Amino acid sequence: MNSLEQLKEIIVNYVEVEPEQIRPDSRFMEDLGFTSFDFMSMLGEIEEVFDVEVDQQEAAKIRSVQEAVDYLDRLTA
C-alpha cells in the first residue's frame, strides 16, 4: 500500500469523508474540514503508523494531501 492510500485510511478517522473523495490536491482545512486539533491529532497517528518523527514546523506548512504524502515519502526514504 502506498503512502497516499495509507494516509487516506488515517484521514477518514478524523473527518466525515469517504476515501474515494480524498484527492491528492484536497486541502486538509478547506476541502476535508479538518480543524487544527484534528490535524495535530492525525500527525500523532501518522508518527505511529509510519514510525517517523514529524517536525512541527514542517507540518505547519502542509496544506494538501499530496504535500503530506511528499513529506512522508521524504521521511521514510
Contacts of 25 (CB under 8 A, 6+ apart): 64, 65, 66
Residue 1 has pLDDT above 80, yes or no: no
The pLDDT of 37-53, averaged and rounded, is: 95
pLDDT for the residue 77: 85
pLDDT for the residue 43: 95
The pLDDT of 5-27, averaged and rounded, is: 96
Write the DSSP assignment of the chain as a string of letters. Answer: --HHHHHHHHHTTTSS--GGG--TT-BTTTTT---HHHHHHHHHHHHHHHT----HHHHTT--BHHHHHHHHHHHH-
